[in-house]
Chain A
Amino acid sequence: MYRREFSQANQSVITDNKTLEREINLAKVIQSKLLNGEKPKLDKDDISGVSIPARLIGGDYFDFYPLPNGRLRVVIGDVMGKGIPAAMLMILTRGAFRTAAESTQGPGETLTAMNNALYKDLRSLSSFVTVFCADWEPSTGAFYYSNAGHSLPIVVRKTSELIEIPKIKGVMLGGLPDQVYKEEKITLQEGDFIFLYTDGIIEARNREGDMYKEGRLIKVLKENVSKTAVEIETVVIDSVTHFTEGVAQRDDITMVSMKVGKDKTDISSFNSPLV
């Protein structure tokens, strides 16, 4: 009698685990599809993005949103924490970005609208999101950007020269209410490569506990600037993998990269996504 009850209880746990595993895998598929949706096709420029979660699903986020004025709005973000809780907030962040992108003039306004939309929820959940948002204007080479507590991108000229871009700070989303996010602007030239990333890259550790750090990342980007955006992303992933010597990935790794083409370009073959 006891043995039969124990067996039934054990069977129930196995079924629950299988259900949980199935649901997590479905969540992984959903997140992967949302992150790896259709990329904008630029006439001349080369753009790419990739996200590798540390666990089955992650809290990093990147997205592209073509605007009616010919600009392309780009965003990269890192939700505090890891795994399922972070993934849930990442979906919330995505919705806030897509809603804000449609109704705001520039990246600064987008971050302000996102913070206004998310602040109460994030505060009540004791969570935060760092976000870097930019508008790429292919017709002029202008790159407008704003920052909510995220790392600034790395810009490398085709000559492998590192470009120091104007620093800009802003409180991470969920940090303080009613924030106004400032904007900066740089002008990119033909062959320039711009790399947006989350801290999972530079904070990756090897067996000795040493971190990959920004210096190694810059070196890799400078050495491979002649390659395509996708190729450079692959080289970065390979470099981090080689450095970590098989140590399990601790944090989500996400990057968005763009290489400026020869002539002025138009964004085509891509409709503004539905929210």
Chain B
Amino acid sequence: MLQYSTTQEDSHLTVTFDGDFDIEATELIQDTIKPMLSDYSIVTINLSKVPFVDSSGMGLLIDLVRSMESSATVVRIAEVREEVFEVFELLQLPEILGEGTFV
């Protein structure tokens, strides 16, 4: 089950996820994470502890980034593991979300 922790510095929030980013994460992302992020101008999503993202998780991630961008929040996805980034590249996630989203 996906867990998360946060660190805050002024209006910059970093959310570090821990566990698989899959369909089981739907409620956590939609009901808890999404509403929480709207208060910040910069959000970093740290995926260093996420070993696996399936297609459902990918959809959640894209939806999360797009909804934050529509509310003018700057979003960065950081420390993606190599094996996860390979899947992101297969799906061309950097092209979809913008190359600058990944740091």
Question: Considering the chains assembled together, what is the distance between the CA atoms of A149 and B96 in angstroms?
Answer: 11
Give the dominant DSSP class at B's interface.
helix
Q: Which of A78, A151, A171 contacts B96 (CB under 8 A)?
A: A171
In Å, the complex CA distance between A176 and B96 comes to 6
Per-residue interface assignment for chain A, residues 165 to 196, with 1 indicating a CB less than 8 Å from any chain B CB and 0 otherwise: 00001111001100000000000000000000
Total chain A interface residues with beta-carbon distance under 8 A? 22
Q: Are B90 and A175 in contact (CB under 8 A)?
A: no
Residues of B in contact with A, size category? 10 to 19
Q: Which of A80, A169, A251 contacts B58 (CB 8 A)?
A: A80
**B residues 50-67 touching A (CB-CB < 8 Å):** 52, 54-56, 58-59, 62-63, 66
Residues of chain A within 8 A (CB-CB) of B95 are 171, 175-176
Assembly CA distance A81 to B62 (angstroms): 13
The 0/1 profile, CB within 8 Å of B marked 1, for residues 69-90 of chain A is 0000000001011100000000
Contact B55 A80 (CB under 8 A): yes
Task: Tell me which of B23, B58, B66, B92 contacts A171 (CB under 8 A).
Answer: B92
Contact A82-B91, Cβ < 8 Å, known A126-B59, A126-B62, A128-B58: no
| Central interface residue in A82, A128, A176, by most chain B CB within 10 Å | A128
Q: In the complex, what residues of A have CB within 8 A of residue B52's CB?
A: 203, 211
Of A130, A172, A203, most B-chain CB atoms within 10 Å: A172
A/B interface sample: 6 pairs, CB < 8 A: A80-B55, A126-B62, A150-B90, A151-B90, A169-B92, A172-B91
Q: A82-B56, A171-B95, A175-B92 are in contact. List 15 more A-B contacts (CB 8 A).
A: A78-B55, A80-B56, A82-B23, A126-B66, A128-B55, A128-B59, A130-B91, A149-B90, A149-B91, A151-B90, A171-B92, A175-B95, A175-B96, A199-B54, A203-B54
Give 8 nearest A-B pairs by CB, closest first: A126-B63, A80-B59, A149-B91, A175-B96, A171-B92, A80-B55, A81-B56, A172-B91
